[in-house]
Every structure is written in structure tokens, then in C-alpha cells.
Amino acid sequence: QVQLVESGGGSVQAGGSLRLSCVVFGYTSNNYFLGWFRQAPGKEREGVAVIGTGAGSTYYADSVKGRFTISQDNAENTVYLQMNSLKPEDTAMYYCAAAQRVMGWVFAPAKYNYWGQGTQVTVSS
């Protein structure tokens, strides 16, 4: 059974940084898609960054390009989201999600089978 456990959220001032971690348990393959999504109150869940763990391909939403970096540590079965130059509009619950294969638009939440419990990120101005 696949389980995802996020950590690293918190409260920071605008311009600050946080690093989120997602530990993946139970995946028998080293080749899958791991995405970070976020959802603010009253808004739809949106994709932020995705990594294909096999080839290491990365994808970023336009709103975070140049500020966020997704990376993986295969030895630790962990995917990270380094978030720099945080803005108040980055405030949301952040979730990691996994899927064996994602075709087409990688930021569609419905394409991911497994989800973590979420970690809150709050950025104050």
C-alpha cells in the first residue's frame, strides 16, 4: 500500500523560504510521477511542481517558476519542494501526490492515485 507523508510546512514572512518533504512508502517502482499540489481556502486544488522520478523530468506551474525547485532523493524515497521568495499568495495547504503514469497535462489532480495528508504553508506580508 502506497503512503505519502508530507512535512516541512510552517509560517514565514514574505521573501522567506521553506522546504517541504514527501516521504513515499510502499511504491515498488522507482519510476513514477510525484507532484506537489496546493489548495487555498475557497479555491480549487492546483498543481505546483511535478517530477518524473525515472528520468528526473521536472515541471513547474508558471506562478512558481524560478522560485520553487522540486528534487528527489532516491535513497531516502523522498521528494522535496524548495520554496524561495515566498509570497502571501503562496499560502495554502500543500499536498504531495503520486501516480504510476501521467499522460498529457501533469498538473491535473484527478490523474494522481495517492495523496498525502497535507502540510500548511502560511506566508505573511
Alpha-carbon distances, residue 120 vs 18, 21, 46 (angstroms): 11, 12, 15
Average pLDDT over residues 56-72: 97
Average pLDDT over residues 16-34: 92
pLDDT at 51 over 90: yes
Beta strands 3-7 and 33-39: pairing type?
A: unpaired
Average pLDDT over residues 24-51: 93
What average pLDDT does the chain have? 95
Nearest to 117 by CA among 6, 11, 38, 27: 6
